[in-house]
Amino acid sequence: MMNRVSRSCFCSAAAAPTTLSPWLFVGLGNPGEKFKGTRHNVGFEMIDAFSESVGISMNIPLCKALFGEGFVGDAPVLLAKPQTYMNLSGESAGPLAAYYKLPLNRVIVFHDDLELPCGVLRLQEKGGHGCHKGLKSVINHFRGNREFARLRIGIGRPPGQMDPKAFLLQKFNATARERIDAALPEGVVALRCILHEGLTGAARWFNQEQKYKYMRSETMTS
C-alpha cells in the first residue's frame, strides 16, 4: 500500500536533492475520449502504464491535473496528467513543481516526438522544445528554464505531404500500435531505473538499448 508523500520531504528549489527528494513525472496529452489512442497522447499512455505498474492511482485533482503520489520502494514519486489540453500543459506542470518546491532536475516530462521512429524512446536530460507546443508551454511556465528531463516517445513522421497537426490527432494504425504497446513497458523499466540508479546512468544504459533496438528493426526490414 502506498503511503502519502509529505511536502516535508521535498527539497527547496535552491537546495541540492537528497535521497528523499521526489521525482515529478508529467505525461503530456489531451483529455477526453476524443483524443484517447491518438499519437499526441502517448505521454498520457506512458504515465498510465507507469502508474499501473507501481500501483499509484492518479485520481486527485491538483493544479489542473489528474494527480497521484506514492513510493516506489523508498523513492517518493509524484505523477501528473495535465487536463489543460496539450498546448497549455505548463499551466499545470509549472504550479505543481512550484507547489512541491522541486528543482527542475527532479522533473521528467513524457511526450510524443515526430523526430524519432515509431516506438523508439529516448531519455534526454535537458533541451529545447523542438516546436512541440506542450513542451514550449512547460518551458514558459518554468520561466524559460530548460533544465528538466524528457522521455521522448517516437511516433514517426507523417507520410508524404500530410499535415503534421492532422497526423498527431490520428489514432495509430495496427503496426504502429504494436510498436507503441511494446515500447510502453520498456519506458516503465527505464523510469524504475531512474528512481533507483539516477537519471544520468539510466539514460546512458537505456538510450544505448534503444539504439540497438532501432538498428535491429532496420536490419529486419531492409
Tell me if residue 132 is catalytic: no
**Amino acid letter for position 195:** L
Contact 29, 40 (CB under 8 A): yes
Strand partners, 2: none
From residue 117, give the alpha-carbon distance in Å to each of 13, 121, 143, 185.
35, 9, 31, 17
DSSP letter string over 47-64? HHHHHHHHT----EEETT
Of the listed 40, 111, 132, 141, which one is catalytic? 40
Measure CA 204 to chain center.
Answer: 17
Alpha-carbon dihedral 13, 17, 20, 26, rounded to 10 degrees: 60
Residues tagged active-site: 40
